[in-house]
Amino acid sequence: MATVSLLIFIIFATGVHGLDSDDQDLNANMTTRKSFFCACDELCDNGMQPCETTGKCFVSISHDGNGQTSRRRGCLNYGQQGILICKSGSNSKLSIQCCEGDMCNVNISVSLSTSPTPKPASTDPGGNMTMAKYNVPILVTSILGPFVALTFLILFCLCLFRHKHKRQMQKLSMVDPELAHRHPHELRAVPAGDSTLKDMFDHSCTSGSGSGLPFLVQRTVARQITLVEQVGKGRYGEVWRGQWQGENVAVKIFSSRDEKSWIRETEIYNTVLLRHDNILGFIASDMTSRNSCTQLWLITHYHPLGSLYDFLNRNILDPPLMCRLLLSASSGLVHLHTEIKCNRTKPAIAHRDIKTKNILVRDNLTCCIADLGLAVLHSEDSNTINVGSNNKVGTKRYMSPEMLDETMNMESFESFKRADVYAFGMVLWEVGRRCEIGGLCEEYKPPFYEYVPNDPSFEYMRKVVCVEKLRPTLHNRWCTDQTLTCLAKLMKECWYHTASARHTSLRVKKTLMKISESCSKTSKIVY
């Protein structure tokens, strides 16, 4: 009986299937089966004696932990226990064979298996085991199917990304509509060769391509530029010093989120008759793809002295230099605001983000206005205002009261120009503080530094400028010198609370010319 218990335990430990169908057969045939005799060596002491059963006869051989081998023959009742034992199969420690019929287990030989026997799926009528069958194609499909599907999904995503990237590149590289209808011979594309940028500008000044080079030449120059070092970084992206045939150029690389700024600035710079000594010289605009990432380039003249903001932080000014910087900056603003009518009309342009960081200092210590990404165009003939698709606003410290309290008339182009004049008044204040008079000079500070934190919110600025109507404070020394006194009077007239009371940019320029004529020219700049 100990052997039978061991058999049942091993069978349940290895798992059994197919009991339900055998139980049904058992219930259906229980009353119809006949009994027969089996050889038995458990019930009697002398030899093999028969036992009677309605189930099956069995022969088993088992191997215990002590190395002893035991053989048994006997009867199994036709029930669940008998089915389990007969289906236990053969392995290295136990082997069982079942049969039906009188004394059928006398001559059956049983041996232990040297390797595990696969789990049987069924037994034949004689009680012999049959191996379980597996559907190989289904098994292979179930294993490889998910990997194949995942591979196709990855390939599909890559193709979709490349297609989208290609379409974006095609969109960005579309030919200017003004140039698209021209005959190819009208594009005065100058081969690069050994020409300098000045030669190319002089040769193409009547090409109608605006302040930069003709479209095809822009693409040629842009692809020959080597980036040397990063010289600046801002909310729009990065500024690099590049080289083209030994000449330094500035490369403004826009981030992808500022694509609209790049498109707008390219559009403005390609405006006809925009070229001016006091407007940053535009060379080319192009896009490039690196590591599947689109880079938007704006290539301009390079000015190693940097912005007026940087220049004021590093240098102390004398009155003549102060007037020179301010007069040249105002000349650039006047050129922007002025509509020119001749063979090809230049529209009036409002900058919308005038500040010292957007004014560059040239080698000859004059200024030029840069960063036209927020500019607004106006044509008197059509009386329409082209704001563009860029919905960003200017710098909060330089915003006029009507912009902060949102009462500005967006349908009037004059409102945009008056807002520029207000911001230019802040520039006058910043530059005037750095002018040394009588050995006295103030350190550089941004506008409203005494009222607001480093990064003031829109509401904070509105409270200071519109509600409290405060303006940057003037040191007592502004009253001790005629040049600073005249400059203080001018800046106050630029930042009037009422926009219509402010000077025009042309009036500001003429006033600065008078101040420049009367100021002393004996001081020198201190580096």
C-alpha span between 51 and 39 (Å, rounded): 6
Selecting among 22, 258, 286, 353, the annotated active-site residue is: 353
CB under 8 A, 24+ apart: contacts of 259-262 = 259/172, 259/296, 260/388, 260/389, 260/390, 261/236, 261/373, 261/374, 261/390, 261/392, 262/296, 262/298, 262/373
Beta strands in 208-365 (DSSP E): 226-234, 237-244, 247-254, 282-290, 293-301, 348-350, 359-361
Q: What's phi and psi for 434, nearest 5 deg?
A: -90, 5
C-alpha span between 10 and 7 (Å, rounded): 5
Q: What is the DSSP letter of 79?
A: S
CB under 8 A, 24+ apart: contacts of 510-517 = 511/486, 512/323, 512/326, 512/327, 512/330, 513/327, 514/486, 515/323, 515/483, 515/486, 515/487, 515/490, 516/320, 516/323, 516/324, 516/327
Distances (CA, A) of 288 to 169, 214, 518: 8, 18, 51
Residue type, 454: N
500 Rama class: left (phi>0) / alpha (psi -120 to 50) / beta: alpha
The yes-or-no answer on residue 353 being catalytic is: yes
- Annotated active-site positions, please? 353
